[in-house]
Structures are given as structure tokens and as C-alpha cells.
Structure 1
Amino acid sequence: MSDDVLMFDPITARIALYTEPTLAGDPFDPNSARNAPLNSPAANLPSLYYHSDYDPMEVAVGPTDVLITHTAIPAGSGAPDAATINSQLVYGGYTQDRSLLAHGLPYVPDFLVVVGTQTLHPGYPVQYNALDGRARCVTAYATATEIRIYETGIQTSSVLAAVNVTYTVIVLKRPPAPVGSVLFEFDPVTGITTMARGKFSSNRRYLQIVAGGSPFGFPLGRTIDLANGTFRSVQPDGTIRDVVPAAFKLSFGFGGPNFGPAGNYNGSFTGDPQIQVQAP
């Protein structure tokens, strides 16, 4: 039966916690088959819990809730010869750019943003009307000083009401540079464990994988699919958001409306896997 192993290699200065992928080989040899995750981590990712080569994703800020009041999106005006059953769709006619928080780090950091119980992906529809396709889509991004959101509207002939949205933000810190030569140390006075020449310390906060325990998720593939001229958004829990309704059709020609085929999403995308994490 395979065991969970904490192993280090003084030659490569690597340290890792993993489940042995096989029982073959010398358990005390860092380069044996059973210890392959230590010096061949990329080929043994499913076995790893921690590896000193990889960013442990230390939390620098958050989780922090930020309430944003999004103003109403005005009705749009499309091309005069285009119409739909009930309205027109106008893309890119409304945009806003605003700050969520100042992160206080001396570089552009990695981060996660959650809306409600769902991780915010680029172009996420935080508000939409399923009857005519008007929507508010947001994308979070980082600068050297702030975590910000860029907002764009899909406009119809009707106003999209103002809405208050709470965004929960986690900002991640880059791992520190290794110091000294100690690969593993436990201080019985402080109770602090350090590993990988100070790159990991048990008194810091790191993201932790918790199945079903947190809305923060890392997608392992796509979160949006395009088909028939529009998009489908799939949330981390598998919930599907089709912004453009099935009733949306374009009319063309003269002598009255001659409607074409439905303009809603007609693909089959149901999302890709994701890993749920939480910040302690």
C-alpha cells in the first residue's frame, strides 16, 4: 500500500509531500521510482500535496468583501436597418472601469475574485435579463497598485437597472526567495515549521484545496464558449448562463420584417473541471 511521504533531496535542494505512485524502488533513494514526485514533479502532479518548486500561493490580502454599486446601463441604439423580435442588441456601447481595492504589493499580483458563490471569470455576466439579452459583464484585472474591474454592457432598447454587487477578493503573494540551506525545520518553542529554505512557513496563510468547501475555484479549462455569434458562461459549480435568449432573431430586407434563424447560443459546452480552494 502506498504511503504519504515527506521527502527531501540535499543534492537538488527539493522537498515534497506526496503519495508514492508505486512501491518499486528504495524508499530512501530520492531518485527511486516510488520517490519520483520529488525530482520529477511535473510528471507526477496527481501525487503531490506540496513541492518546493511550485508557488504555494500565499494569501497577502483577503478574503475581503467589496460592495460595488453599478449604475444603470442606458438603452442602446443599434443600426437603423437591424431589428429583433423585441429589441436590438448593442455590444460595446457602455463601459466602466473601477477599483476594487489597493493591494499594497510592489508588483502586479495574482488574485481571485468571487461573486456570490462563483469565481469571476473574464467577461462574467453578473447581471442579465433572460427576456431580451441585456447584460452587465465584468472582468477583473490587476495593476501595479490595484485590483480593478472592467465592465461592459450588452444594451437593448430597455434600461438595465442599477445593481449592488459584492465582490470577494483574495490577493496572492509571490513566494519568497530561498534563504540559507535548511530544507526542513521545526521550532518546538514557536510551533512553526519551515521548509524549502524558508519558502514555506506554517505561520503564513496559503490557499488550500477543499472539495466543495469554498467558492474560490481554479478552472482547469475554458469557462466561456462561443457559438452562433454569442457566448455561454459556465460557473464553477456547473451552472450555465446563456445571456442571449432563444427568442432573439434578426430581421432583414424590405417589405416588412423577415426574420432569420434564432441568434442565441446553440453549442453544447457544459464547462471544464475546476479545483476548489479556500483561504484559512
Structure 2
Amino acid sequence: MTDPTTGRCALYDEPTTSGATDNPNSARNAPLNNPAANLGYIYFHSDFNYLEVAFGPTAVVVSHGAVAASSPPAGATVSFGWTGTVTDRLLFTHSLGYVPKVLAIVGNNTVWPGMPVQTGGGATRFVSIYATTAEVRMVEFVSTGPGTLPAVDLTYTLLVLADPPAATGNILFDFDPVTGIVEMGRRKFKSDRRYLQVVPGGSPFGISFGGKSIDLQNGAMRAFRPDGTYFEPVPAGLQLGLAQYDLYGAYYGISYGASMGYSGSYAGPGTLQVQAP
């Protein structure tokens, strides 16, 4: 149904048989002009953001430089720290004039803020991807360890999503048999645009819903991927050990603490795997 007053167009099941069929504001047509309260009945609504793809998927290769090992202080044999610097680099120029939503994957994993993308020598490389009104950028920082973190080239694949367009004109629903293009809701939706498609098992890109995608317990994290699997950067068997010596330097062994890994049971949010058409 359409409503010339509000400019809306929607496809839905009627939640009740009460009211006139041709009245956009009757109870049976409530999904049209009160979509938020009738989500379970709606198949399409011109007010909704169907996540139009503005650019991508675009693969960007980033050459991450090597990071030297930490220098332990006097009296210590091993030290951990961080480089003290943050690298901020350009990944992609979109020039949309506003800050868009961006999806990114690396190694078939969705990139979340502060995601570890490389470990080695006791060090870890973390990245966050963000957008400005003109660019998609990456922030990188590294925790250091007793060994060198080698240089690595990693491929980040980006999807830049456009904001929903403003309503224009007076067309509530139109089909052009020559072009095959469908327009709905005063051109807020057009079938010749590229919208994200739900493809279970078919894409590493994903959107989480119904809850948080990262849980913290015991000082460690569990991060969920769109395919339902999860990633725990702190191994369950990681323990801190304290070597014991007597006053004469005789070694008595190592006393280990409890596991430093994630200790919770969070099962993750709902997820949708998506791809660009």
C-alpha cells in the first residue's frame, strides 16, 4: 500500500481485519504509517535503510612494517610494552561528503575496533578502521614483546555503504517495463541501486544484531564472527609463572597462576552474513 500524504510505500501482512482497506491510517494498515511497532508484519518499507553499496568490495593491500623487540630493563630478561606510536593511514577515498558506514574483512574475518591482525615474538599488531566525510582510514598500534614482529602485507576488503537518499518527486510506486526498474517511496528505493543481500554461509561480511559482539571476562575477550564462530586472542592455557629461588640462588621451580584466558560463556549475538550484488 502507499500513502500520498506521508509518501510511504510498504509491503506487509495486515495485523488485523479492523478498519477500511483503503485507509492508510486504519488498524489493518498500521504497518504502513507505524512501521516501528509492526516490524513482524513488514516485508518492505520505504522508510527502512536497505544499506545501499556506494563502493566495493574493494581490496586494499597494507604493508605493515616490522617492529623491534622490547628492550628489558636492568635486572629483567623479558619485557612487554608498546611502540608508543600510532600509525594512521589512508585506505580509500570515497568523497561522499558525509561519514558512511563501512564493513571490512581481513583473512575472512570481520574487522572490529582494536582487532589483533598479527602476532609473533610475543608482540601483537592491532588495527581499527574508521571513516571521515571523504576517506576510509586505518589506525594501527602494536604491543611489543621479547621478539621482533615481522613485516607483513595484509589485504583488507572494504564495503562502503551509502546513507538512504532523501525523498524526491511524487512517485509512490512505479515500474518501467522498458528498463525493468522499480521505484518506491518517492524514489527512496530504486531497484537499479546496489543493496546488501543476505547470503547465509556465502560471505565473510556480516552484521550483528540482538546484542554485543564482544564479551569480556577475566580480563580477556571473546569476539564473534558473522558465521557464528568466535575468536579469543588470549589462549585458554596462558598462565603467569613466578620463578622461585632461595637466598643462595637455588632454583625451586615455577609457581603458576590461574588461566589468563576468557572465562565467560557468552554465546554471541544474532548475525547476518551479507554481500554486495
TM-score by length of 2: 0.83
- SS for the counterpart of 2:39 is helix
Structure-1 residue corresponding to 2:64: 70
Asked if structure 2 preserves the Cα contact closer than 8 Å seen for 1:140 and 1:150, the reply is yes
Question: 1 CA distance for matches of 2:212 and 2:267?
Answer: 10
1:244 aligned to which of 234, 248, 252 = 234
Amino acid at match of 1:191: G
In the TM superposition, residue 240 of structure 1 has moved relative to its aligned partner by 2.4
Question: 2 CA distance for matches of 1:185 and 1:236?
Answer: 35
In the TM superposition, residue 63 of structure 1 has moved relative to its aligned partner by 1.0
2:181 is aligned with 1:192: yes
Amino acid at match of 1:271: G
Distance 1:174 1:81, change over 3 A: farther
Give the number of the structure whose alpha-carbon radius of gyration is greater: 2
Structure-2 residue corresponding to 1:276: 273
2:264 is aligned with 1:267: yes
Question: 2 CA distance for matches of 1:207 and 1:133?
Answer: 39
1:169 aligned to which of 138, 158, 161 = 158
In the TM superposition, residue 53 of structure 1 has moved relative to its aligned partner by 1.6
Structure-1 residue corresponding to 2:171: 182
Asked if structure 1 preserves the Cα contact closer than 8 Å seen for 2:124 and 2:142, the reply is yes
2:204 is aligned with 1:233: no
2:195 is aligned with 1:202: no
2:220 is aligned with 1:223: no
Asked if structure 1 preserves the Cα contact closer than 8 Å seen for 2:9 and 2:172, the reply is yes
Distance 1:260 1:73, change over 3 A: same
Asked if structure 2 preserves the Cα contact closer than 8 Å seen for 1:30 and 1:38, the reply is yes
Asked if structure 1 preserves the Cα contact closer than 8 Å seen for 2:122 and 2:147, the reply is no
Distance 1:95 1:74, change over 3 A: farther
Structure-1 residue corresponding to 2:34: 40
Question: 2 CA distance for matches of 1:268 and 1:121?
Answer: 20
Which sections of structure 1, spanning at least 5 residues, go unmatched? 1-6
Asked if structure 2 preserves the Cα contact closer than 8 Å seen for 1:133 and 1:244, the reply is no
Question: 2 CA distance for matches of 1:67 and 1:38?
Answer: 45
Distance 1:206 1:143, change over 3 A: same
Distance 1:101 1:214, change over 3 A: same
Map of 1:52-63 to 2, 5 A cutoff? 52-63=46-57
Distance 1:82 1:58, change over 3 A: farther
Distance 1:80 1:17, change over 3 A: farther
Distance 1:105 1:78, change over 3 A: farther
- SS for the counterpart of 2:37 is helix
Q: CA deviation digits over 1:70-106, x for unaligned, max 9? A: 22233235777988xxx55435745322111111212
2:17 aligned to which of 2, 12, 24 = 24
Q: CA deviation digits over 1:236-275, x for unaligned, max 9? A: 2232222223223164999686543332222223321112
In the TM superposition, residue 235 of structure 1 has moved relative to its aligned partner by 1.7
2:45 aligned to which of 51, 70, 74 = 51
Question: 1 CA distance for matches of 2:217 and 2:74?
Answer: 25
Asked if structure 2 preserves the Cα contact closer than 8 Å seen for 1:135 and 1:243, the reply is no
Question: 2 CA distance for matches of 1:226 and 1:54?
Answer: 33
Distance 1:15 1:44, change over 3 A: same
Amino acid at match of 2:17: A
TM-score by length of 1: 0.82
Which sections of structure 2, spanning at least 5 residues, go unmatched? none
Percent identity reads: 47
Q: CA deviation digits over 1:79-138, x for unaligned, max 9? A: 77988xxx5543574532211111121222121112232321112222235xx7632221
